[in-house]
Amino acid sequence: MAKKAKKVVDNDKDDEKTESNAPRSTSYVGMLILSSIGLIGAAAFLYLDHDELASAKKVDPPSVVLSEAGLNIPSAIPAPVGGAK
């Protein structure tokens, strides 16, 4: 059989309550605030890094020297090891 819920009667309706009915802040609220501060700080550092990279002088990539066959062959090719031809 189902139990009936008990009714709570507040007899002190006229008295002012010193406690607030608002929920208390929990540790999750603190973690939310800390993570929000961290995200704002990370966004600021990302902007500063982007600003630094955008104003840097652009450097051309190194050029590659090709041989007549189109391959990058060193000028001195060592002899094979073991006497193989």
Per residue in 63-85, pLDDT tens?
Answer: 766 666 666 655 566 667 776 55
Q: E strands along the chain, which residues?
A: none
The 3-state DSSP composition of the chain as helix, strand, coil percent (nearest 5) reads: 35, 0, 65
Domains of the chain by residue range = 27-53
Per residue in 33-64, pLDDT tens?
Answer: 999 999 999 999 999 998 888 887 777 777 76
Supply the pLDDT for residue 54. Answer: 81
- Residue 44 · residue 50 · CB < 8 Å: no
Supply the pLDDT for residue 37. Answer: 98
Distance CA 76, CA 85 (A): 17
Supply the pLDDT for residue 52. Answer: 85
Supply the pLDDT for residue 25. Answer: 81
